[in-house]
Structure 1
């Protein structure tokens, strides 16, 4: 989800992801942004963190990828083009 500062949802991803096959057990040292995500909690990425998130998505092993990666990348690009926009991962 891409949200601006006042809380308006600007864009939203259409697919979910299977935690076990995508982010579960991911090496947090190699993927600190993605590794910090929690399937039951929410996470927010700001304009300073989004480039690191994009870099990790580019390095993600193919077997952990899928449609969700392209959707998150697209949301990140929207957030980087607009001031005061954030990427939110909403758990459970």
Structure 2
């Protein structure tokens, strides 16, 4: 996971989630932000989407959880504290 600015500069980074099939089982209606994650592609969240992502992280099933959740929350805060910042989940 990375926080990048408009020019692509990396502002912060952390190790992301270990992919599990449980991510694929998430309901797109209940987890529209996390449902968009795939193991082999990038996903980018802007300032407005990060607030939605945070609420999804609060109710994430245990099968999808782990240490990465707190690291994701920290990076979300980095996005919220600056302008023109984006949270990137970098795929394989």
TM-score by length of 1: 0.90
SS of the equivalent of 2:48 reads coil
Unaligned runs of 5+ in 2: none
Query: Which structure 1 residue ranges, 4+ long, deviate > 4 Å from structure 2?
Result: none
Aligned to 2:23: 23
TM-score by length of 2: 0.90
Aligned to 1:36: 36
* Whole-angstrom distance in 2 between the partners of 1:12 and 1:76: 11
Deviations 1:4-59 (A, max 9, x none): 1111101001x342222552321111100000111111111000111000000011
* Whole-angstrom distance in 2 between the partners of 1:82 and 1:16: 21
Unaligned runs of 5+ in 1: none
Aligned residues: 91
Q: CA RMSD in A?
A: 1.3
